Chains A and B, each alone.
Chain A
Amino acid sequence: MGESMLVDLTHIPFDRLATVPDEVLRESLARHMATDPASRRWNKSDKACPQPDQPGPRDR
């Protein structure tokens, strides 16, 4: 479902990787490299959970 551009390189022998065309690598990485690295970082929530009965779990 959906168009995947990521080529399965895991079945290519390591000594044949050099023969993979540049274009295949570029296509495989197109989605990854088009995304700002900061958009692939996920940090803890800004906000904690209100706690009606302390102590409780610290939420995220």
Chain B
Amino acid sequence: MTGGYARHTLSPADLAGLGAGEVPPALADTLKRAIASRNIALLESVRRQSGSAAIDDLWRRLGAHPGQALDVLISPQLGAWADDALRFGSGDTGVLLAALERERGPVALDGPRPLRLRFETGEPLRGHFGLAVAERPGPADWTELCRQAYRLLRARHPRVAAAMAELVTTVVPVVPPAPPETFSATSGAAFGAVALSAPADAAELAATFTHELQHQVLGAADEIVALTVPGHPGRFAVHWRDGERDASATLQGIFAHVAVVEFHRAEWLAGPLEERPGHAAAFALWRLATGRAMEQLGRSGALTPAGAALARPLEARIRAALAEPVPAPAARAAEAALA
């Protein structure tokens, strides 16, 4: 407690669980509540600077409907709007209120634990991501692609599917900046939203959701506690980027790619037969690339004690992946790619 106010915390067990790739409902709730507090602080700061009566009114409405408050407070529209408004003074409350109004009626995708997604092409997320919004494919095609991807995740990646149902709420369809390469992005301010270009198929979309979900999780954890030493001078060469990355970005990349490694392992071993060689190659490549990045980061001194607590099980997952025999062509291709 400080001045009578409780603070958000992550216990060593929470951090170890995150590093192990586990986001049980209680931990997901911890992350969501931290994002809610951050967004309250952002929005209340904007209110104090601008004197906005609309924000006063929003607080009154949320107070009158407390059962809906958490969903509104963690919405990517609210987070993105408030973050941009506080940083750049660009807040038109009409945009925020219109976006929150549109949030009603998400599409529920199937399952005993349905994934509820919204497809959002309006402001403030359009401007926040700074990407051209794609009008095609339309919502029906996106819904079907997401339904298939979610089924794949539920079938062979249940931990990812469960965490996704808790934490991913919104898809922002965008035009890929460098076609024909597909594109995806996540913003820490817009918690729950993933900007996506149209994937080739549902399997690619499932891999993309797996990757972007990790950024949501680690971004939320990083709001609570520093995982890397602020201002650490270390820069790290990682295979997934052309330039060097700082410690925080490197940890984000490692965290995401460990999940991608496990995605490819499961698809290699149990996915459609014709796609298994490709997944074996991806598994071999990304486990090696992730292992090398982890090795650099681990010995750099850039991890805080909290970051180290998260990294230990992460390293164990990488070691387990690296110990697994893979087809020789896949191993050779991975070594060649990283030579």
Q: Is the CB of B226 within 8 A of A31?
A: yes
Residues B282 and A56 in contact, CB atoms below 8 Å apart:
yes
B44 close to A (CB within 8 Å): yes
Chain B nearest CB from A58 CB (Å) reads 5
Q: Are A4 and B3 in contact (CB under 8 A)?
A: no
CA distance A15 to B286 in the complex (A): 50
Q: Are A57 and B279 in contact (CB under 8 A)?
A: yes
A57 touches B41 (CB 8 A): no
Contacts A53-B281, A56-B279, A59-B286 given: A1-B41 contact, CB under 8 Å?
A: no
Interface secondary structure of B, over-half rule: helix
Q: Which residues of B contact A27 (CB under 8 A)?
A: 2
Q: Tell me whether B7 and A41 are in contact (CB under 8 A).
A: no
Interface residue range, chain B = 35 or more
Select from chain A the residue with minimum beta-carbon distance to B285.
A49
A18 to B52, CA, bound (A): 12
Contact of B34 among A6, A35, A58 (CB under 8 A): A6
**In chain A, residues 1-46, which have Cβ atoms closer than 8 Å to a Cβ of chain B?**
1-11, 13-15, 17-18, 20-22, 24-29, 31-35, 37, 39-46
Closest residue on chain A to residue B224 by CB atoms: A4
Q: List 29 A-B contacts (CB under 8 A).
A: A1-B9, A1-B10, A6-B7, A6-B34, A7-B5, A7-B6, A7-B41, A8-B6, A9-B40, A10-B40, A27-B2, A29-B42, A31-B223, A32-B38, A33-B86, A37-B87, A40-B187, A40-B188, A40-B219, A41-B187, A43-B184, A45-B240, A47-B240, A49-B285, A52-B281, A52-B329, A57-B275, A57-B279, A57-B282
